[in-house]
Structures are given as C-alpha cells and as structure tokens.
Chain A
Amino acid sequence: MSTGTSESTAPAAVTAAARRAGVGPSSPRRRRRPAGRPVWEEPPSRLGLALKGLVLVLVVLAVAFPLYTVVLTSFSTQAETIRTGGLVVVPGELTLEAYRQILSGGVVTRAAVVSVGITAVGTVLSMVVSVMAAYGLSRPGSLLHTPLLFVFLVTMFFGAGLIPTYLLVSGLGLIDSYWALILPGAVSAFNVLILRNFFMGIDGSILDAARIDGAGEWRILLRIVIPLSGAVLAVVALFYGVGYFNAFFNAVLYINDNAKWPLQLVLRSYVLQGVALPGGGDPTSSVSGAVAGLPIKMAVVVLAVVPILLVYPFVQRHFTKGVIFGAIKG
C-alpha cells in the first residue's frame, strides 16, 4: 500500500510527539483505520454501494444546495430574480451590485462592523478569562480547588433564568451598551471544563521540570501549557466566537437603539420579517413587490456566513481532537 505509508508517517509522528508531551487522552487511543478494505471484509454488493453513494450525495446536497442558491441569488441581478420568481438556481446575469449597495456604508455595513467588533472583543476576553480559570482549576489538591470548581459546576445545572438576568443587566445600566452583549455570556463553565480536561492531560513532569527551573505558574501557562494546547484552544475559541457572532436574542433584549444593532438582528428584521431598514438606509425602498431586493437580502445572508466560512476550514481539522478530549458540545 504505497499511499498508506506516506499518509501514515506524519500523523504517527504527531501522535508519538503528543504522547511524549503527555497530551494524549486518557481514553483509549483512536485507532487509525488502515487505508483500503481489509482482506477479511466481503466485497460490498454493487446495489449496496450505489445506495450508500446516493444517500451520501443527497445528504451533502441537502446542505450545499440551499447555500448555493442563496449565494448565486446574491450575485444575480434584480431582473433575474423577478424572472425566476424567487431564488436563482441556474446562473444567469451576474453582478456585484447587491454587495456594492450593502457595503457602501449603510445600515448593513455598520451592523457588520458592530458584529465583528463584538465577536473580536468578546472572544479575546472569554478566552483569556477561561484559559486562566481552566489552568487555575487544573491541579486537584491545590488550595480552594474543590469550592472553586463547584462555582463553575453549579452554573451548568441551574440557570438563574431570563427575567432576573434581564433585570440585573438593566439595573447595571447596560441597556444599549455593547457590554450587555459580551459580559453576561463571557464565561461558559462548559468551555472552561473542556480546557481544564485538556490541561489536566498534559504530563506533569514537564511542568515540574519548569517549576524546578524557577518558572512561576504564569510563565508555565504562557510558555508551556498554551503552546501545547493549540487544537483545543482553536476549537473553544471557535465556540465562543460563533456564539458571539450568531447571537441575536441578547440584542433583542438589551439593544433598543436600532442604530447599534448587530448583523443578526438586521438579518432578522430586514430579511426574515421584510421590514424596511431603519435610518433611511433601505436601498430598495423605491422598488415595490414581494421579491424586491432579493439579491440584496441574500447578500446580507451571505455576509452573515462569510466570517464563519473564513475560520471554519482552519479549525475544522481540530474538531475531533479538541472536542472529544474535553467533552461534547452541541
């Protein structure tokens, strides 16, 4: 198996290095599937293969086709959508007009900037706080370890509820402040535990060696633990980032001033509910009809996916490692 050898050397080296570094999971190690069908397995029937392939193709299409039509429609002309009566399936006349309109500094542009800003600030804050907490909780037997751990666990089993949280946030004067979209959800006990489980898997002898050399806990965290935890950090950062970027309901609650709306709220009001954009920024107000501005609407949808599509490929390969190590999310 010539392809198998070249493929398997790199991962094998990585796993070996990971094991040496003590990053390996305590659960049974994932077994690599040998490439190709093993000799003892009976060859699949032609009908079975065809059915399997058909189902897989349908599954992939069920995800990909709606996205394809949405993207294609956003690049189509208004005339094209009126001709088809809705979404465009077959590429016709293509244009960037929709994007030019929504990105020319109107409501959508501002909302996109707000969303990206909240996501950036929130993710950095959440990661700094969570990584510190996870490392602080990663040594059973340390002072106050158990009570501190309980502080996190309790929040996983009992939520205070929407009303008291709303009353608190408004009581703190955070209504119409972007901090209301960041602070209440800044720490997820769940994500902290994922990080903690990963940190606990790191071989203690490396950390002890550093300690003998005079490194304090802060330096150990920065110089040893964080560099060893790339996969799980990427996955947890994605969880936090996606959470901030996708949230719309906290903005419904806390942001009354529609000039401050994040992108998801604009998407809901303008695209889903068909309300004209506030602040006179509606580029389609002169066009009447149910499908008026469909390319523009779909361009807003695309704008709400692009940031996720940009980071997804880089984090995606860490999913199994990062997620299964700590816990299962979703």
Chain B
Amino acid sequence: MSTSLEQASAEVDRAEEELASQRRRPGARSAPVPQQRRRTLRTRWRRDRSLVLMTLPAVALLAVFAYVPMLGNIAAFQQYSPYAGFLQSPLVGFSNFARVFTNPAFLNSVVNTLTITVFQLVFYFPVPIVLALLLNSVISPRVRVLVQSVVYLPHFFSWVLVVTVFQQILGGAGLVSQTLRAHGYSGFDLMTNPDTFLLLITMQSIWKDAGWGIIIFLAALSTVDPALHEAAASDGAGRWRRMWHITLPALRPVVVLLLILRLGDALTVGFEQLILQREAVGAEVSEVVDTFVYYQGVVYGDWSFAAAAGLVKGLVSLALVMGANKLAHVFGESGVYQR
C-alpha cells in the first residue's frame, strides 16, 4: 500500500506547501495568519470543523461497507459457518489457502483470467487509440461530434443489455444466422461456442467500451499545439511523418499510463459480463477468479474457501497495482494517484 499512499501524501504535502506560499504572498490570501503564532489544535478545529463534519457521512458509509468487510476476511482463516458466525467459528490457520492453491478449478480460473487479460490487451487496447487518431483527423466539427456521441453511448448500457443484443444478433437464432440460413448457408451460434468465447467477449468489450475509451486520447490530442504541425509541414514532413513524430509522442504518456493501469488490474476482468454467459458456454472457458469466488461461496456455501480465494486475489491485485505504479515511475510517468 505504501507506494501509492506515500505518493498521495507527497502530493498532499506539495499542495500544502503551495497553499502556504500563497498565504505568505501579501494580498493573495485575504486572511493572512501571522507566521509566528502557531495555530493551536483548538482554533484549527473551530475553523475546520464544518469541513470534517462534511466528510463524515461518506466516511461512515465507507467504514461500514468497505472497512468492516476487510475485517470480515478473517473468515478466510476460519472454518466459517453462518450459524456460528465470526465469533464462534473455529480458526484453522492457512489450511483454506492450501486448499485454494491446490484446487485445479481455481488454477483454471486464474489461467482463464490471465488469458482474457492478455487477449484483450492485444486486441481491445489499440482500438480506441486508432479510433481517436481517425476522429482527430476529421476536420468537420459536426461529423466529429456526431460520431463521438454515437460511440460513447454503449458505455452506458448494462451488461445484461449488451449480452442480450449480442445474443439476438450473433446467437443461434440471431439475425446473422437467420440471414445466412435464408441464403442457403449454415448458421452458427457464437453465444454457446466455447472455442470462440474469447473472441466473443472481446467483441462485446469493444462494442461497449472502445468508443468511450477514445475520450482520453482525444483530450491528449487536443493539447497538441497546431504550430508544431505547421512547422513540421513547412519543413516538408508529410502526413505520416507528422503523425509519427508529433501526434504519437503526444499520446505516449496516456498510453503508458493506461497500459500500466490495466496490468495492475490484470486479475479483474468483466465480472458481470462473464457471469451472464457462464452457463451458456460452460465454466471451462468462462470461469475467472471473481466468478469462482462467487460460486464457491454464495452458491455452494463453502464460505471460508471462497473468502480465501477472494483474499488471495485482493492481495495479488494490490501488489500488481503497486508494481505497476513503480513501473510508471520507471517510465517517468506520474503514476496511479494522479491519473
């Protein structure tokens, strides 16, 4: 936890210094506090208590629904039974974790998760970049706005809806199969075919979120000074050379950052998307760590085993985020907190 949080605190310190220097500047702050008089805790409390009070409802909600469950991970070290509860269930040390690491279904779910992550990194990740470059080269603002508002839209659809629409188009009774059959070809059912499942979920992800993904790249592109392009053009650089030497370097920081964030999130792949389609294609290809935890715990009632698997995932993800953050620093980027 320390890296990101240290960075956060460094960020906070920097902001505080900035504020302090503003305060020292005469007239910048209207109520300059004399430097030599240290404010006591009491005056600070009197000054800031409404600010503290404002955060309390949110802090209370997080305390109950985010921090209390963190303590609930104690179930991973117990033989938890809902009737005995946390206090009465016997402690069993690390035996649940031993079961997790020797469970072939769990290992299969890890393999599936990583396969999906890598596959999407290769086939999904570049799509928004290419779309953004294409859209950025469109001159007419009207066309740009129209295309943007259409491609952003599916991001706001639910996964149930996206999967339903895909089923109606690409399923066994879907539009494409119907059309093929009507013309004498044989139809196909992409929705229940385990062999093409990776392709299917990547297509769904692209349809839903690739459009929304371009927003950040467009923002990065809009900060490029047109004078750079003009200068390069007058020096004889063609369209493609300008893209290579001006446009793409402007995208580099964003690309590196998003890539690293995705790596840090490697164990998290669309949970709702996958659980919706698990029955149709079978657990062999669609079981990921998150769905494994859900089925073992909530469906089969093996609470401690599922909690252990979930805790392993949480801790590995934390390590990955931190590692990714380190990597960001190696690349000279600002890291996770400032994204």
Chain A residues with CB under 8 Å of chain B are 27-28, 30-31, 33-38, 40-42, 52, 55-56, 59-60, 62-64, 66-67, 69-70, 84-87, 89, 128-130, 132-133, 135-137, 139-146, 148-155, 157-168, 170-171, 183-187, 189, 192, 200, 204-205, 208-209, 211-212, 216-218, 221, 238, 242, 245-249, 253, 264, 267-268, 271-273, 290-291, 298, 301, 304-305, 308, 312-313, 316, 319-320, 323-324, 327-328, 330
Query: Which one of A40, A146, A187 contacts B62 once the chains associate, using CB atoms below 8 Å?
Result: A187
Kindly list chain B residues whose C-beta atoms are within 8 Å of the C-beta of A249. 271-272, 275
B284 interface contact, C-beta 8 A? no
Please, which residue of chain A has its CB at the minimum distance from the CB of B182? A85
In the bound complex, do residue A218 and residue B65 qualify as a contact, i.e. CB atoms below 8 Å apart? no
Listed A/B pairs (30) with beta-carbon separation below 8 Å:
A33-B226, A38-B230, A40-B230, A52-B134, A52-B138, A63-B153, A67-B165, A129-B58, A135-B51, A137-B51, A140-B12, A141-B20, A149-B12, A153-B8, A157-B1, A160-B70, A160-B72, A161-B73, A161-B314, A163-B72, A166-B298, A167-B72, A168-B64, A168-B68, A242-B156, A264-B160, A301-B164, A324-B219, A327-B339, A330-B209
B139 interface contact, C-beta 8 A? yes
Kindly list chain B residues whose C-beta atoms are within 8 Å of the C-beta of A164. 69-73, 75, 307, 310
Query: Which one of B49, B75, B167, B275 contacts A167 once the chains associate, using CB atoms below 8 Å?
Result: B75
Chain A proximity mask over B179-200: 1 for CB below 8 Å, otherwise 0? 0011000000000000000000
What's the least CB distance linking A194 to chain B, in Å? 11
What's the least CB distance linking B156 to chain A, in Å? 5
Kindly list chain A residues whose C-beta atoms are within 8 Å of the C-beta of B276. 268, 272
In the bound complex, do residue B226 and residue A31 qualify as a contact, i.e. CB atoms below 8 Å apart? yes
Please, which residue of chain B has its CB at the minimum distance from the CB of A3? B141
Kindly list chain B residues whose C-beta atoms are within 8 Å of the C-beta of A28. 223
Number of B residues whose C-beta is below 8 Å from A? Answer: 124
Kindly list chain B residues whose C-beta atoms are within 8 Å of the C-beta of A247. 158
Kindly list chain A residues whose C-beta atoms are within 8 Å of the C-beta of B115. none
Kindly list chain B residues whose C-beta atoms are within 8 Å of the C-beta of A272. 160, 163-164, 167, 276
Given contacts A140-B15, A151-B62, contact A163 B75 (CB under 8 A): yes
Please, which residue of chain B has its CB at the minimum distance from the CB of A37? B139
B326 interface contact, C-beta 8 A? no
Query: Which one of A33, A55, A253 contacts B134 once the chains associate, using CB atoms below 8 Å?
Result: A55
Given contacts A40-B234, A304-B161, contact A87 B16 (CB under 8 A): no
In the bound complex, do residue A141 and residue B55 qualify as a contact, i.e. CB atoms below 8 Å apart? no
Kindly list chain B residues whose C-beta atoms are within 8 Å of the C-beta of A211. 30-31
A128 to B317, CA, bound (A): 31
Please, which residue of chain B has its CB at the minimum distance from the CB of A41? B233
Query: Taking chain A's interface residues, is the majority helix, strand, or loop, or is none over half, making it mixed?
Result: helix
Chain B residues with CB under 8 Å of chain A are 1, 4-5, 8-9, 12, 15-16, 19-20, 22, 28-31, 41, 44-45, 47-55, 57-59, 61-73, 75, 82, 85, 131, 134-135, 137-139, 141, 143, 146-147, 149-161, 163-165, 167-169, 173-175, 178, 181-182, 207, 209, 211-213, 215-216, 218-219, 222-226, 229-230, 233-234, 238-239, 271-272, 275-276, 279, 290, 293-294, 297-298, 303, 306-307, 310-311, 313-314, 317-318, 321-322, 337, 339
Tally of A-B Cβ pairs under 8 angstroms:
325
Query: Taking chain B's interface residues, is the majority helix, strand, or loop, or is none over half, making it mixed?
Result: helix
What's the least CB distance linking B71 to chain A, in Å? 8
In the bound complex, do residue A246 and residue B157 qualify as a contact, i.e. CB atoms below 8 Å apart? yes
Q: Name the residue among A164, A184, A273 with the largest chain B CB count within 10 angstroms.
A: A164
Given contacts A33-B141, A133-B55, contact A70 B160 (CB under 8 A): no
Query: Which one of B15, B50, B224 contacts A216 once the chains associate, using CB atoms below 8 Å?
Result: B50
In the bound complex, do residue B29 and residue A208 qualify as a contact, i.e. CB atoms below 8 Å apart? yes
In the bound complex, do residue A132 and residue B150 qualify as a contact, i.e. CB atoms below 8 Å apart? no
Query: Which one of B69, B153, B239 contacts A168 once the chains associate, using CB atoms below 8 Å?
Result: B69
What's the least CB distance linking A29 to chain B, in Å? 8
In the bound complex, do residue A87 and residue B168 qualify as a contact, i.e. CB atoms below 8 Å apart? yes
Query: Which one of A59, A139, A157, A323 contacts B131 once the chains associate, using CB atoms below 8 Å?
Result: A59
What's the least CB distance linking A55 to chain B, in Å? 6
Please, which residue of chain B has its CB at the minimum distance from the CB of A143? B48
A150 to B233, CA, bound (A): 49
In the bound complex, do residue B207 and residue A248 qualify as a contact, i.e. CB atoms below 8 Å apart? no
Query: Which one of B48, B59, B70, B139 contacts A158 once the chains associate, using CB atoms below 8 Å?
Result: B70
In the bound complex, do residue A163 and residue B138 qualify as a contact, i.e. CB atoms below 8 Å apart? no
Closest 7 CB pairs of A and B: A164-B72, A160-B69, A246-B158, A136-B54, A161-B310, A133-B58, A136-B55
In the bound complex, do residue A30 and residue B222 qualify as a contact, i.e. CB atoms below 8 Å apart? yes
Q: Name the residue among B41, B69, B70, B276 with the largest chain A CB count within 10 angstroms.
A: B69
A290 to B314, CA, bound (A): 42
What's the least CB distance linking B19 to chain A, in Å? 5
Kindly list chain B residues whose C-beta atoms are within 8 Å of the C-beta of A64. 150
Kindly list chain A residues whose C-beta atoms are within 8 Å of the C-beta of B63. 151
